[in-house]
Amino acid sequence: MLKIWGRASSINVQKVMWAIGELDLEYERIDVGGKFGGLDSPDIKARNPHGLIPILEDNSATVWESHAIVRYLAAQYGDGSLWPSNPAPRATADMWMEWAQTVLQHDFIQLFWNLYRTPVEHHDHALLAKLTKACGENFTQLDKVLGKQAFITGDQLTYGDIPIATQFYRYFTLEIERPAIPNVEAWYARLRENAAYAEHVMVPYEELRARLAP
């Protein structure tokens, strides 16, 4: 049975859990990080010297970094489904995973931290406007791709879609301005009917809201 260390409200853990759900794999998840603490424990450091989540243990294999874990799960258990048999769509999936890490999530996590995880009294409105605009431009780029095909690599969900679409739940539930992105919205609507996505990604995140200490 797979073992995963990481809290349910972590967006990087959610990527891994969605992949596990799509592949219908048995697992045990251990709450670590955030309000649960434990990242500096010898047990965690022995599995990931950086003391970060998520961490996956699969028999003798220990894997950390969310995208590496998603790739591992797809390659090990999703041949022909999440893991395309042809190298060309795998290369496309890899390119978009890199984009998700270095562009899409990079901008969105800054927006999320500065908007949601910073007390309202300390908001930098100029910075929030800049980050909201950057996120809107990123999602507009994605919308153009989805206007031609259902998923990043074509007509099938692959591991390359997971890091991108995991961002949707928070992006569409935050109180921010969003551009017209009908193709992304249509994909998000379909995902809300996906059992694995609904269970592992559409996780309430109110616990992450910042408030000034009384």
Contact indicator for 131, 137 with CB cutoff of 8 Å: no
CA pair distance 143, 139, nearest whole angstrom: 6
pLDDT of residue 213: 54
Domain count, the chain: 2
Same domain, 45 and 146: no
Same domain, 94 and 197: yes
Same domain, 106 and 29: no
What's the pLDDT tens digit per position in 91-121?
A: 999 999 999 999 999 999 999 999 999 999 9
pLDDT of residue 210: 84
In a domain, 151, yes or no: yes
Last residue within a domain, chosen from 20, 44, 77? 77
Q: Is 37 helix (H, G, I), strand (E, B) or coil?
A: coil
Q: Which residues of the chain register pLDDT less than 50?
A: none
**At 93, which CATH number?**
1.20.1050.10
Same domain, 73 and 125: no
Same domain, 128 and 73: no
Q: Is 148 helix (H, G, I), strand (E, B) or coil?
A: coil
Angle between helices 66-77 and 11-23 (to 10 degrees): 0
Range of the domain at 22: 2-77
Q: What are 54's two structure tokens?
A: 């998520």
Nearest alpha carbon to residue 102 among 163, 22, 172: 163
Contacts of 10-13 with CB under 8 Å at 24 or more apart are 10/34, 10/53, 10/54, 11/105, 11/109, 11/166, 11/167, 11/170, 12/53, 12/54, 12/66, 13/53, 13/54, 13/66
**At 64, which CATH number?**
3.40.30.10
pLDDT of residue 211: 75
**Which positions ≥6 away from 19 have C-beta within 8 Å?**
69, 70, 73, 74, 78, 82, 159, 162
pLDDT of residue 212: 59
In a domain, 138, yes or no: yes
